[in-house]
């Protein structure tokens, strides 16, 4: 009996199938986990004079409005809250003047927005702040059950004998009894590279930004107070209240290099225009 000739196309076809399988596995390994980013309304700041946000004098005498968001990140390994806003105690009232010409107000509470998602403050697993200014730590005491991820330099400055402007930790007490994860520089929150705290000092000694890798939206950078507006980013304005001008500019350089490399979506937290482009709560960026 003569042997049946093997098809000349059999081996290439088998090889193609194997290559497709390997490619699929590789994509699965690189895929971001199921992460959701919620933008919560945690206040608003009206300023009669924006001069503190540019040391060149270009903003002197000009009024402005700033958004004050909080961000909830839902990850398969837990919930991270990034910044906590002005404080629920201000909700529903006329607001308060933090400084002459600086008025803060809160429309709805952070706690009620979390409740919309079926989340109580005690359910938050991790808490992190871009920095310790009062418009970012207003609700911090609600989250004493969370693990607080703190830059060592930021905590040292805020609790030191001469804290930077607006940096005093006096109203924040929950950290004293909370579980602390002290960090020096960058940190991977969940250990898979999808949610990272990136050290970018200058505004304060331990200022940081948040980098996310979302399954559909891709890379996202939450600015903290590295920038206060789109114009400040474009023109590389350094606020008068920053503690270190050179460090601020170096942090801007690093931020922009990462944004270019990863084609990241940049969210300037204090710019209402950027917040308005995010999915309206309780919708989320995915």
For the chain, percent of residues with pLDDT exceeding 90: 83
Cα–Cα distance for residue pair 185/208, rounded to 1 Å: 9
Mean pLDDT over 255-265 rounds to 98
Mean pLDDT over 54-65 rounds to 98
Q: For the chain, what is the mean pLDDT? A: 91
Cα–Cα distance for residue pair 92/120, rounded to 1 Å: 20
Q: Which fold has domain 34-276?
A: Metallo-beta-lactamase; Chain A (3.60.15)
Q: Kindly state the helix (H) or strand (E) to which residue 274 belongs, with its residue range.
A: helix 272-276
Burial track 82-106 (b if 16+ CB lie within 10 A, e otherwise): bbbbbbbebbeeebeeeeeebbbbb
Radius of gyration from C-alpha coordinates of the chain: 23
Cα–Cα distance for residue pair 104/122, rounded to 1 Å: 26
Cα–Cα distance for residue pair 186/178, rounded to 1 Å: 21
C-alpha to C-alpha distances, 183 to 2, 134, 189, 208, nearest whole angstrom:
73, 21, 11, 11
Reduced to 3 states, what is the DSSP secondary structure of residue 182? strand
Of 213, 180, 181, the C-alpha closest to 196 is: 213
Can you read off the two tokens belonging to residue 130?
Answer: 């871009």
Cα–Cα distance for residue pair 77/34, rounded to 1 Å: 10
C-alpha to C-alpha distances, 276 to 95, 97, 160, 269, 272, nearest whole angstrom:
22, 25, 37, 10, 6
- In the prediction, which pLDDT does 161 show? 84
Ordered by start, the domain boundaries in the chain are: 34-276
CB 135 within 8 A of CB 86: yes
Judged by average pLDDT, the poorest of 25-29, 151-155, 183-187 is: 25-29
Mean pLDDT over 195-214 rounds to 98
Mean pLDDT over 176-197 rounds to 98
pTM over 0.95: no
Give yes or no for residue 222 having a pLDDT over 90: yes
Tens-digit pLDDT profile for residues 86-96: 999 999 999 99
Tens-digit pLDDT profile for residues 135-165: 999 999 999 999 999 999 999 998 888 887 7
* CB proximity list for 276: less than 8 A, separation 6 or greater: none
């Amino acid at each position: 009996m003569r042997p049946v000739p093997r098809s000349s196309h059999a081996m290439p076809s088998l090889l193609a199938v194997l290559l497709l399988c390997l490619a699929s596995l590789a994509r699965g390994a690189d895929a971001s986990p199921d992460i959701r980013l919620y933008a919560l309304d945690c206040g608003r700041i009206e300023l009669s004079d924006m001069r503190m946000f540019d040391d060149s004098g270009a903003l002197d005498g000009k009024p402005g409005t700033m958004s004050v968001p909080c961000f909830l990140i839902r990850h398969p390994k837990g919930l991270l809250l990034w910044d906590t806003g002005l404080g629920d105690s201000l909700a529903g009232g006329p607001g308060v003047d933090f400084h002459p010409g600086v008025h803060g107000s809160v429309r709805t509470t952070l706690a009620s927005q979390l409740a919309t998602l079926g989340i109580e403050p005690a359910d938050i697993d991790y808490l992190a702040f871009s920095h310790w200014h009062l418009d970012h730590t207003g609700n911090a005491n609600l989250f004493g059950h969370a693990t607080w991820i703190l830059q060592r330099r930021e905590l040292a400055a805020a609790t030191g004998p001469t804290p930077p402007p607006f940096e005093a930790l006096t109203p924040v007490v929950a950290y004293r009894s909370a579980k602390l994860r002290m960090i020096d520089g960058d940190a991977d929150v969940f250990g898979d590279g999808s949610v990272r705290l990136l050290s970018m000092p200058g505004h304060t000694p331990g200022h940081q930004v948040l980098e996310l890798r979302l399954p559909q939206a891709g890379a996202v950078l939450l600015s903290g107070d590295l920038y206060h507006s789109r114009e400040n980013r474009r023109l590389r304005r350094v606020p008068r209240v920053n503690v270190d001008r050179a460090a601020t500019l170096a942090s801007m350089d690093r931020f922009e290099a990462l944004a270019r490399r990863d084609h990241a979506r940049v969210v300037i937290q204090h710019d209402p225009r950027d917040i308005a482009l995010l999915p309206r709560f309780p919708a989320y960026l995915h």
